[in-house]
Structure 1
Amino acid sequence: MRKLQTLTGICLALALGVADGGVAMAKGEGDFIMRARGIAFLTDTDGTTDALGGSAETSDDYVPELDFSYFFTDNIAAELILATTKHKVKVENSSAGDVDLGTVWALPPVLTLQYHFMPKDTFSPYLGAGLNYTIMYNADKSAGINDIDYSDGVGYALQAGFDYQLDDHWMINADIKKVFVDTDIKVNGGTINANDTALDPLIVGIGIGYNF
């Protein structure tokens, strides 16, 4: 949480620093927006192992993120977010106690289609929905684990947020996404499996954007 507060403070300071007091230009058809956010990637893991019982758990992470939006009309836009996160993985309360499985990186690009309710106003909220493809990579197994494998996963995402226009180009953005995605975890050649483990992260971000 302290990392998220720090990222929030930095983003707000940068955004306020670029404001020039001019009249804000509304977003509209044909606009391309690039944003930089600090995000909290808060996992909501739900899964059990077939051999040991217990519940699979993954840690949260706090990272920078880039996203790109294009407006097809004044109200409708598509957004693609890019970020990668690192997570500790373990099984808690199993028949063998708590088992540390090591760490793994996740690359979860999310593509959403958004509806902007008031694109011509300084305060412009939006809702979105879309798809996610989570790539699991660079797994680092803990001591006692011979090998571990995580499957990639396809899921869907829901989104809500707003832009606050500062001038003709710069804006503050706050955004929240709920992503629904599963992974299959295979340990020691399938001796231990945690299939259909839900990661289902909540992604909370705040940052700045530039309208080209």
Structure 2
Amino acid sequence: MNKQGTFVAVATSILAMAAAGSASAAESGKFQIKAFATKVAVDGAITKVKVDQLRLPAGADTRAKDAWVPTVAAEYFFSPRVSVETICCVTQHDVRGSGPLNGAALVDNAEVIPATVTVKYHFPLSSGVKPYVGAGPAYFMVFGEKVGASARALGATKVGLSSELGAALQAGVDIPLPGKAVGLSIDVKRYFVDTTAQFRAGDRVVLETKHKLDPWVASAGVAWRF
């Protein structure tokens, strides 16, 4: 099964559990805010070359640099087991060459807002610990990207990375602290999203490549439930 098929299957299962949980809900209208330290590990590999007037060497590829960022998540509980969550963060990544282009500076300072909404299903344990899984859509808004020094040396004067719609799978656990209004939270997401990079020399497109982003996003922090 391809990654889109896997996402659909998991999302369908989660939504089915959500419907069942809502039907028997004894609790609703609860909010939770989380503050995280987050690592974003992006792929960035080339999956397709559409235009290549720069004549890239055979085997040339790219990788995006990882980033550490603060993240805030806001969550609403429809029931003790079902919630919906959105996150807020901005990550910045440079794109560097690999293979024959190893270390080449291609794109600098690409900013990404990973607008994400997930439906989550929780598994409350007797200790109060709540593991959960989730899935939902994500829209990666990319802006601020600049031509790296190596790409500029090859004649590129402008670069653009497309904003794209994708999907996210999620798993994590919330751990309450006894007698406290706060708890600990650990969260891992896997995104499935691509982008197209277009390099221009003046008004002429000299290189256009499609890239797999598919980042892993791992977060740890504190949660406030109210």
TM-score range (shorter-chain normalised) is: 0.7 to 0.9
TM-score w.r.t. the length of structure 1 is: 0.80
Corresponding position of 1:100: 105
Q: CA deviation at 1:121?
A: 4.2
SS, match of residue 47 in structure 1: strand
Identical columns (%) = 27
Structure 1 residues 147 and 207: alpha-carbon distance in aligned structure 2, compared to 1, 3 A threshold:
same
Structure 1 residues 69 and 120: alpha-carbon distance in aligned structure 2, compared to 1, 3 A threshold:
farther
Q: Distance in 2 between matches of 1:97 and 1:76?
A: 46
Q: Distance in 2 between matches of 1:108 and 1:32?
A: 22
Two-structure CA RMSD over aligned residues (Å):
2.0
Corresponding position of 2:142: 136
1:186 aligns with 2:180: no
Question: 1:102-181 maps to which residues of 2 (within 5 A)?
Answer: 102-103=107-108, 104-118=110-124, 121-143=127-149, 144=152, 145-166=156-177, 167=179, 169-181=181-193
Q: CA deviation at 1:110?
A: 1.4
1:80 aligns with 2:94: no
TM-score w.r.t. the length of structure 2 is: 0.76
SS, match of residue 109 in structure 1: strand
How many positions carry a matched residue from both structures?
184
1:66 aligns with 2:63: no
Q: Distance in 2 between matches of 1:113 and 1:128?
A: 5
SS, match of residue 74 in structure 1: coil
Structure 1 residues 153 and 120: alpha-carbon distance in aligned structure 2, compared to 1, 3 A threshold:
farther
1:90 aligns with 2:96: yes
Which letter does structure 2 place at the counterpart of 1:201? P
Q: Deviations over 1:68-109 (max 9, x none)?
A: 000011110001011111111123235x77532132111112
SS, match of residue 163 in structure 1: strand
The worse-fitting range, judged by mean Cα deviation, of 201-210 and 103-112 is 103-112
Q: Is the 8 A contact 1:70 1:79 kept in 2?
A: yes
What stretches of structure 1 move > 4 A for 4+ residues in a row?
A: none
Structure 1 residues 127 and 97: alpha-carbon distance in aligned structure 2, compared to 1, 3 A threshold:
closer
Q: Distance in 1 between matches of 2:170 and 2:126?
A: 20
Consecutive unaligned residues in structure 2, runs of 5 or more:
1-25
Which letter does structure 2 place at the counterpart of 1:146? T
Structure 1 residues 92 and 119: alpha-carbon distance in aligned structure 2, compared to 1, 3 A threshold:
same
SS, match of residue 145 in structure 2: strand
Which letter does structure 2 place at the counterpart of 1:40? K
Q: CA deviation at 1:171?
A: 0.9
Corresponding position of 1:6: none
Consecutive unaligned residues in structure 1, runs of 5 or more:
1-26
